[in-house]
């Protein structure tokens, strides 16, 4: 019996022709699962391993090497809010922005708000230094996120 939905399984299979080996599809498969399920549960690891002709340990090793994959014990919230801590963002209030967001949501970096809507993390750089301080909401960069914009940002993410 399959843990992954037929659509998710097919998305993983669709990556196979794009890569030189099945093992090379491990990262895209993990991303697809996490994007869909907000975590990578153990049954998904087993199924990815089966699809890619790997052992579950090999898939888990890849998953645990990268800090952005979550297990079912630490699933992501509906939205992932990365606060940039690069030098440019730090000099323009990035650290204070991170502290303010965490204080308002009552979480530490890496934590998820009690309503399950927002996971707050810090990033070393999101590549939009000209708009410091900046955040990344899921895959969308927001620039010039000043303290007066934090409440509105949180309200937007809680919808």
If you average pLDDT over every residue of the chain, what do you get? 95
**pLDDT for position 67:** 79
C-alpha span between 154 and 18 (Å, rounded)? 38
Tokens of 80: 């992932």
C-alpha span between 88 and 132 (Å, rounded)? 6
**Residue 136 phi, psi dihedral angles, 5° rounding:** -120, 120
**Residue 83 phi, psi dihedral angles, 5° rounding:** -105, 125
Question: Which residue is associated with the tokens 């630490």?
Answer: 74
pLDDT one-digit tens code per residue, 101-112: 999 999 999 999
Task: Give the pLDDT band (50/70/90) at residue 31.
Answer: very high
**pLDDT for position 108:** 96
In this structure, what DSSP letter does residue 111 have? Answer: -
pLDDT at 66 over 90: no
**pLDDT for position 16:** 98
pLDDT at 1 over 80: no
In this structure, what DSSP letter does residue 65 have? Answer: H
**Residue 11 phi, psi dihedral angles, 5° rounding:** -60, -40
Non-local (6+) Cβ contacts of 32 within 8 A are 8, 11, 12
The distance of Cα 99 from the centroid of its chain, to the nearest Å, equals: 19
C-alpha span between 125 and 85 (Å, rounded)? 6
């Amino acid at each position: 019996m399959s843990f992954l939905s037929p659509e998710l399984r097919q998305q993983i299979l669709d990556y196979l022709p794009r890569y030189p080996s099945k093992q090379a599809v491990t990262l895209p498969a993990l991303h697809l699962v996490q994007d869909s399920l907000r975590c990578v549960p153990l049954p998904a690891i087993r199924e990815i391993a089966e699809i890619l002709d790997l052992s579950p340990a090999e898939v888990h090793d890849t998953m645990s090497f990268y800090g952005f994959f979550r297990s079912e014990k630490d699933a992501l919230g509906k939205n992932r809010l990365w606060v940039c801590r690069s030098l440019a963002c730090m000099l323009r209030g990035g650290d204070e922005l991170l502290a303010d967001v965490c204080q308002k949501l009552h979480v530490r970096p890496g934590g998820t708000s009690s309503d399950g809507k927002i996971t707050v993390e810090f990033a070393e750089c999101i590549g939009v230094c000209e708009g410091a301080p900046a955040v990344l909401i899921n895959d969308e960069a927001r620039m010039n996120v000043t303290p007066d914009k934090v409440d509105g940002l949180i309200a937007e993410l809680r919808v």
